[in-house]
Amino acid sequence: MNRYVILQCTNRLCNFRFPAEVGNYGIYCPLCGNELTVREYRVDNGYAQFNKKDTALECVLDNVRSSYNVGSIFRSASAFSVARLFLCGFTPTPDQAKVRKTSLGAEKFVLWSHEPNALHLIQQKKEQGYQIIAIEASLSAQSLLDWSIKSGEQKVLLIFGNEIFGIDPEIRAFSDEFLSPVTKNR
């Protein structure tokens, strides 16, 4: 069980409020210099967990270049209860400090593995009955906001490609649907 504190400035005009680790803070407001009040909290793991029993949601990050993007995806995966992240090709892993820094500890709660070849992995997942969903910024793709898991779909694999080149064309051929994070004019 983790502990943390919320600190709040006693100056009503300032009223600055922020989190800190237990024992790792000063007693004065960093903005105005007044004293801080301290409230301690306990959390099971620091991340919201949703019910995963209905759908197995997994994600492939194929040759994602940025350690910071990978760390951010770990945080999102934790929030959406993604069952596993597959870090493929040259995608950085939590073994790198920049990934850990950006993930803010989420790498401890999201299962992950490194796979050298995303195409091989996706072929295996397709054979196992996974719905393969490619995420790409494309005008022909359905908006992510309009998509929902269809009744009966128990296993979904989301594919995220390289920031510059997108999703590998051979992986695109295995995809059942294409979703765009970019919204069209509504």
* CATH number of the domain residue 60 falls in: 3.40.1280.10
Domain limits at 24? 2-43
Residue 116 in domain: yes
Q: In sequence order, which residues have a C-beta less than 8 Å from that of residue 21 and are 6 or more positions away?
A: 4, 5
Same domain, 159 and 74: yes
Residue 141 in domain: yes
Q: Which two tokens stand for residue 159?
A: 């594919």
Residue 88 in domain: yes
* Residue 143 confidence (pLDDT) above 70: no
Question: pLDDT band at residue 90, thresholds of 50, 70 and 90?
Answer: very high
Query: Rounded to two decimals, what is the model's pTM?
Result: 0.69
Question: pLDDT band at residue 139, thresholds of 50, 70 and 90?
Answer: low
Q: What percentage of the chain exceeds 90 in pLDDT?
A: 36
Same domain, 60 and 29: no
Mean pLDDT score, 122-151: 78
Same domain, 82 and 174: yes
Q: For CA atoms 55, 139, 78, 162, give the dihedral sign.
A: positive
